[in-house]
Amino acid sequence: MTDFIHLHLHTEYSLLDGACKIDNLINHCKTNGIDTVCITDHGNMYGTLQLAEKAAIAGLKYIIGCEFYVTKDMKDKSSNTAEHLILLAKNRKGYINLVQLDSMAFVDGFYYKPKIDYKVLKEHSEGVICLSACLAGGIPRRLLAGDYEGAKKLALGLKDTFKDDFYIEIQDHGIEEEKRVLPLLIKLAGEIGAELVATNDVHYLSKEDAEMQDVLMCIQMKKQLDDPKRMKFSTNEFYFKTGDEMAALFPNHPQAISNTRVIADKVTEPAFNLNAKGYPIKDNSLIPTYTPPDGSTAEQYLRRLTAEGLKRRYGTPTQRELDRAEYELGIICGMGYADYYLVVWDFINWSKENGIPVGPGRGSGVSSIVAYSIGITDVEPLQYDLLFERFLNPDRVSMPDFDIDFCTDRREETIEYVRRKYGRENVCQIVTFGTMAAKNSIKDVGRVMRVPYSETDRLTKIMDGKTSISDLLGRRIAGAKKKFQDETDEDKKAELEGKLNELKAARNAEFCEIYETDDALRRVIDMALKIEGMPRQTGIHAAGVVICQKRIADNVPLSRNGEDVTTQFVAKEIESLGMLKMDFLALVTL
């Protein structure tokens, strides 16, 4: 098989456009002996950490990239025009530059799409490999418009910025414009001394998945499959082709094929610091610190506040209360969480001083006598025999987490105080993703395929809204039954039997009967199975706010949700990298 690495690929995080599910992509590469996987989603880096983790676990090399939208002036909001450009990180510095570029694209350059311009691109080019992109790239567009000199000027500019890390991208999806522009791209590359690289604009894994990607685009644009005026791909060639298939497309340009390996080999340093198991190693320098007003250390200040608080709460504390406080302080300070306690105490104390109602505390955090003493919580833990170890103990890997309720009407005032205290660039809300749930997948696919609403409604009414389509059909029962039968350990066998029984109970006989007897609805169900679980749109975490010691946009990419700026990584990922996530819960009854 011809050695070839796909360097232009869209996962499900090219929302309602890309259809390469990361899990399926990793499995495909592993199964087919492909050792390197790359991600270049449209304008965002939402899926980058997830892909890196799963690639590392599978033993694959990963390349982090993005297909950027580039315009003349990213701050000019009078035009919606933008050109595509592929950027890949070849080391940690390159990854940081991509993060900063994508953050600027959303925060400063967003107009219909997140955009950068060539000025900021030049300023953030270190450690970055640049490919000229598809037909929507600036160079192919100028060539197709008959502006050869304009295309050459742009190519020379990119060559000057990226030196030998700039490549002219060639593609062939059977599109007439690609065939017209190919000889011009080859000529241009020769004139400016740039190498060619062959890519396929991968939007789905197999050729058979072309209809699935088409359905996703219809859902995005609120169109039907049979609408002749809608936007759609003109061929079914945007899939994860083999090296041999790619070599057959460019028989006269073998170096454009082999250059994919050259580029992959240029990636000499991983974008993320992952451990042997493929999980992020926490960067403790990202955890915010608290500066005591009296010049003492965080530990000294926390101990002083605790001592004063014990007297305020208990009058004359008993030996039991003193011992419990000292025990907790030993663990808190020994694990490096004195600053964490003080950060939380500070914004709660400020809220109370400013008349903002704050809840008494909830969850395992109320088990801490230190938190009770300094006023983070208002629940006395000893009278209820609450165990501090449930909240914090030396074996805990994740950060402790105080769940704090604030008055709904004034919660934003507290968050604004935190922004002022730690810096606006160091405090940010967190992204969430709305996914294609089972019922909605059925409804969306039915609408796209023009299946009468009454028919899909009949189907969704017998669904419980929790069980996946696969489990409604009982697709996992056979595999679970085999695992149960093959297991010899009695304890594990009992556990597997429980799971098997759950799957049997989840199977819906009426749903299965419709699937077997109704051809139109079977087609809907089959397609809904493929898109179920894919991200559909972004949202904002209801309570989560990240507080970072360093500028967030230098460490994780930022996004935009309307006027609100959020991280591009979800809460679990943010915490895994070492950032502090606080839940500012809103409670109407306060």
Residue 381 three-state SS:
coil
- Contact status, residue 26 vs residue 34, Cβ threshold 8 Å: no
Shared-domain flag, residues 32 and 154: yes
Helix axes 210-221, 438-448, angle to 10 degrees: 90
Shared-domain flag, residues 292 and 197: no
How many angstroms separate the Cα of 481 from the Cα of each of 296, 361, 475?
A: 62, 45, 11
Position 209 scores a pLDDT of: 96
How do strand 83-89 and strand 580-587 relate by DSSP bridges?
A: unpaired
Shared-domain flag, residues 259 and 291: no
Residue 398 has pLDDT above 90, yes or no: no
Position 333 scores a pLDDT of: 95
Summarised one tens digit per residue, pLDDT across range 7-36 is 999 999 999 999 999 999 999 999 999 999
Backbone angles phi, psi at 59, to 5 degrees: 80, 25
Give the Cα separation of 441 and 460 in Å (integer): 10
Shared-domain flag, residues 258 and 312: no
Shared-domain flag, residues 178 and 217: yes
Q: To which residue do tokens 């700039």 refer?
A: 166
CA dihedral 117, 119, 123, 129 (to 10 degrees): 50
Residue 396 has pLDDT above 90, yes or no: no
Position 487 scores a pLDDT of: 87
Nearest to 284 by CA among 330, 325, 335: 335
Shared-domain flag, residues 342 and 290: yes
Amino acid (1-letter code) at residue 132: S
Last residue of a domain, one of 200, 231, 266: 266
- How does the average pLDDT of the chain come out, rounded? 95
Last residue of a domain, one of 266, 292, 322: 266
- Where is 236: in which H helix or E strand? none
Establish if 256 belongs to a structural domain: yes
- Where is 373: in which H helix or E strand? helix 369-374
Residue 42 has pLDDT above 90, yes or no: yes
Shared-domain flag, residues 255 and 345: no
**Residue 562 domain boundaries:** 284-433+537-587
Give the Cα separation of 566 and 538 in Å (integer): 10
Contacts of 318 (CB under 8 A, 6+ apart): none
Summarised one tens digit per residue, pLDDT across range 128-186 is 999 999 999 999 999 999 999 999 999 999 999 999 999 999 999 999 999 999 999 99
Establish if 202 belongs to a structural domain: yes
The strand ranges marked E within 181-253 are 195-198
Establish if 6 belongs to a structural domain: no
- Contact status, residue 366 vs residue 379, Cβ threshold 8 Å: yes
User: What is the number of other CB atoms lying within 10 angstroms of the CB of residue 42?
Assistant: 18
Summarised one tens digit per residue, pLDDT across range 501-556 is 999 999 999 999 999 999 999 999 999 999 999 999 999 999 999 999 999 999 99
Shared-domain flag, residues 164 and 220: yes
Confidence of residue 79 (pLDDT cuts 50, 70, 90): confident
Position 347 scores a pLDDT of: 97
Confidence of residue 587 (pLDDT cuts 50, 70, 90): confident
Last residue of a domain, one of 266, 293, 315: 266
Total domains present in the chain: 2
Shared-domain flag, residues 322 and 187: no
| Greater model confidence, 514 or 78 | 514
Average pLDDT over residues 79-83: 90
Q: pTM for this one? A: 0.93
Summarised one tens digit per residue, pLDDT across range 463-489 is 998 999 999 999 999 999 999 898 888
Tokens, residue 16: 């309602």
Establish if 465 belongs to a structural domain: no
Shared-domain flag, residues 48 and 102: yes
Backbone angles phi, psi at 250, to 5 degrees: -130, 60
Establish if 502 belongs to a structural domain: no
Establish if 529 belongs to a structural domain: no
How many angstroms separate the Cα of 266 from the Cα of each of 124, 260, 418?
A: 18, 10, 42
Establish if 27 belongs to a structural domain: yes
Give the Cα separation of 40 and 56 in Å (integer): 18
Q: To which residue do tokens 């809907």 refer?
A: 524
CATH of the domain at 229: 3.20.20.140
CA dihedral 483, 487, 492, 496 (to 10 degrees): 30
What one-character-per-residue DSSP string does 495-556 give? Answer: HHHHHHHHHHHH--HHHHHHHHH-HHHHHHHHHHHHHTT-EEEEEEEEEEEEE-SS-GGGTS
Establish if 497 belongs to a structural domain: no
Give the Cα separation of 559 and 583 in Å (integer): 19
Shared-domain flag, residues 69 and 37: yes
Amino acid (1-letter code) at residue 424: R
Tokens, residue 222: 């609120």
Position 580 scores a pLDDT of: 92
Please tell me what DSSP assigns to residue 281. Answer: P
Shared-domain flag, residues 184 and 290: no
Summarised one tens digit per residue, pLDDT across range 98-125 is 999 999 999 999 999 999 999 999 999 9
Position 288 scores a pLDDT of: 93
The percent of residues in the chain predicted with pLDDT above 70, rounded, is 100
